Amino acid sequence: MARAIWTGVITFGLVTVPVGLHTATEDHTVHFHQLQRGTSDRIRNRRVNERTGDEVGTGDIVKGFEVGEGEYVVVEPDELDEVAPGRSQSIEISDFVDLDAIEPVYFDRTYYVAPRGKEYTKVYELLRAALLQTGKAGIATFVMRNKQYLTALRAEDRVLVLQTLHWADEVRDPGEELPGLPSGKAGQGKQVDMALQLVDALSTDWDPKRYRDTYQEKVRELVKAKAEGQEIATADAPPDATNVIDLMKVLEGSLKAARSGRGGGEEPTAERASAPGGSARKTADGRAAKTAKRKAPPKKTGAASNRSRRAATGGTRELQKLSKADLYQRATELEVPGRSKMSREDLIDALAGAGRRRKKSAA
């Protein structure tokens, strides 16, 4: 039986359930020892006093914060325990939010949560069922090993899962950090339609067992080959970047290969990809289906064009009708600062404010 790495209680409202945290994953990486070249002598890492060269035991090591050159404020381990928030070993849920509203970039590590005793399973199941039926996640903080974590408690079919989250100031804004991001929509017309068909041809149900770590397999093969004195195979070079001029040809070839690999039909062409009625495809269970051609949206004129402009920056009613992805796209176009960390409501407020600023500027 797995041993809990943390024990405490979960509270929501006046309800309390004692629980334990268990690691949900394990590492399958091939691990190597460090050796001195030309020998079988192991290399060890030791804690050494840099002034005297003497090895120091863990019990004689304290933490020090440098306040000046060579000057430190020394902090003992028990002093950190005393100031740590949540010292009572409690995961107190402060809010419930839609699980889908949490951007994947915020998720960090995953833990299973189990009740600490059969007498607590009813309350545990009550919380799990409530989260599962509502699609909500319980947001809470707790302290483990002298570090406070922001967490999302969510429900699986049989177990509660605790996801540690990155704090807001730990998540970078891609628009501010990454150079060369596209400013507009990539691809046009037939290219987009062909890309949609390629995604559709490669779509299937999620099954994690279909995927494996081929790199670690190659590492094991390398170790085995060297141990047996065999020749070592070299890896293929990565493919060249796709030339924009040949993009349509590459998409057609990709779609042909995808359909062929899944027992699909004949080779697509640019004409068939954009022909009325769409093209036949194979679904995940092998049944034939129709992929209807996506029509380009009609060109906006007059009042429709004015509504589009209002929705791009302001007009709270118009903004309320948009998805978070659409709101983020508009915020990106307007270069709204801090947009990647905003909730849907924050994006609406920011875009509405931008609209009001534009009106004042025009006046």
Mean pLDDT (whole number) for 60-79: 88
Span 181-214, pLDDT tens digits: 877 665 567 878 888 888 888 888 888 888 888 8
Span 28-68, pLDDT tens digits: 888 999 999 999 999 999 999 999 999 999 889 889 999 98
Question: Residue 185: its pLDDT value, please?
Answer: 63
- The Cα 99–Cα 139 span in angstroms is 10
304 pLDDT above the threshold of 50: no
Question: Residue 195: its pLDDT value, please?
Answer: 84
The closest alpha carbon to 93, from 147, 53, 144, 150, belongs to: 150
Mean pLDDT (whole number) for 99-117: 94
Mean pLDDT (whole number) for 230-251: 73
The closest alpha carbon to 3, from 91, 88, 112, 89, belongs to: 112
Task: Please report which confidence band the pLDDT of residue 287 belongs to, taking 50, 70 and 90 as the band edges.
Answer: very low
In terms of average pLDDT, the best of 14-28, 67-81, 274-288, 299-313 is 14-28
130 pLDDT above the threshold of 90: yes
CB 58 within 8 A of CB 46: no
Question: Residue 357: its pLDDT value, please?
Answer: 65
Tokens of 271: 């004409």
Task: Please report which confidence band the pLDDT of residue 82 belongs to, taking 50, 70 and 90 as the band edges.
Answer: confident
Q: Which residue has the higher pLDDT, 338 or 44?
A: 44
In terms of average pLDDT, the best of 78-92, 111-125, 247-261, 325-339 is 111-125
Mean pLDDT (whole number) for 290-300: 39
Q: Which residue has the higher pLDDT, 97 or 359?
A: 97
Mean pLDDT (whole number) for 210-230: 84
- The Cα 63–Cα 65 span in angstroms is 7
Mean pLDDT (whole number) for 267-288: 39
277 pLDDT above the threshold of 80: no
DSSP codes joined into one string, 80-129 = HHHH-TTTTTEEEEEEEEEGGGS-GGGEEEEEEEEESSGGGHHHHHHHHH
- The Cα 204–Cα 112 span in angstroms is 27
Question: Residue 363: its pLDDT value, please?
Answer: 55
Q: Which residue has the higher pLDDT, 183 or 76?
A: 76
DSSP codes joined into one string, 33-47 = --B-TTS-PBP----
276 pLDDT above the threshold of 50: no
Question: Residue 330: its pLDDT value, please?
Answer: 83
Average pLDDT, the chain: 78
Least confident of 42-56, 151-165, 206-220, 287-301: 287-301
Q: Which residue has the higher pLDDT, 198 or 261?
A: 198
